[in-house]
Amino acid sequence: MDFNKRIKKVAIFGAASALGTEIASAIAIEIAKAKAQNPLEIFKINCLDQKEEVLFDVRKKVQARVISAAEKSIVHLREIYVEREDLIENSEIIHECVEGVMHGFRFDSDPLYVKQADLVFFALDPSQADHAQYICKSIKLCKSDAIVAFAGHSEKDLDFLDDKRLPYTVVMQKSDPPNRGKPFTIVTNKKTDSSVEAVVREMETRFGKSLI
């Protein structure tokens, strides 16, 4: 399963963290691009956090990023929606685009929504006891072939994982020094499946373009 298919079903744990929100925003931009080509494409993006009340701000930030991207692409959007006679003003076209993207997002605290995800992000610190428990509980719910990316951590953070998960598990670190063209470096391990390697390299490239 390639990146374009996996991004249709995503779960982000710790979505309220700075990195989690950044990942959600990058995915939202990718969805906007995909729906610009095919408005009927269906996406299910679950932004999850232990405290549901903190997710309201995440929604606002992600939506703001999509609005900004739509405003910059208004000429292209006009071409896409050329047959929509009901959309006249730029603001109406932008609204239609943003609503289409945000419709696929769910903001919740229930980890059960990870069960159908093909691409899973954990923007949580496993060195914190409550986070470690939440990760262990949630990762058991993941599909066996779901790619799981631990964002913002080191390879040592994978030590607590069962070996059977390692072929589909990677570490996603912010580039040091910061690199706008490639904001993330994705670290694989010796057991990483070759199909996973191809997806994460594509993810590095796509997210770099999305976050500029």
- What pLDDT, in 10s, does the model give residues 173-195? 766 655 556 667 777 877 888 88
At residue 33, the pLDDT reads: 82
The answer to whether the CB of 118 falls within 8 A of the CB of 144 is no
Tell me: pLDDT of 43 over 90: yes
Mean pLDDT for the stretch of residues 114-127: 86
At residue 123, the pLDDT reads: 87
* pLDDT band at residue 211 using 50, 70 and 90 as cut-offs: very low
The tokens describing 66, both together, are 């999509």
* pLDDT band at residue 105 using 50, 70 and 90 as cut-offs: very high
Tell me: pLDDT of 15 over 70: yes
| Among 41, 7, 5, 43, residue whose Cα is nearest residue 149 | 7
Q: Which residue has the higher pLDDT, 162 or 57?
A: 57
Give me the chain's average pLDDT, please: 83
Q: Which long-range contacts (CB under 8 A, 24 or more apart) does 165-170 make?
A: 165/139, 166/191, 166/192, 167/191, 167/192, 167/193, 167/196, 168/144, 168/193, 168/196, 170/196, 170/200
Q: Give the whole-angstrom CA distance, residue 16 versus residue 68.
A: 20
Domain ranges of the chain: 3-210
Give every CB contact of residue 118 below 8 A, 6+ residues apart in sequence. Answer: 1, 5, 6, 8, 9, 10, 143, 145, 146, 147
pTM of the model: 0.85
Mean pLDDT for the stretch of residues 92-100: 89
At residue 212, the pLDDT reads: 33
Instruction: Flag the least confident range among 78-82, 97-101, 154-158.
Output: 154-158
pLDDT over 90 percentage in the chain:
26
Topology of domain 3-210, per CATH? Rossmann fold (3.40.50)
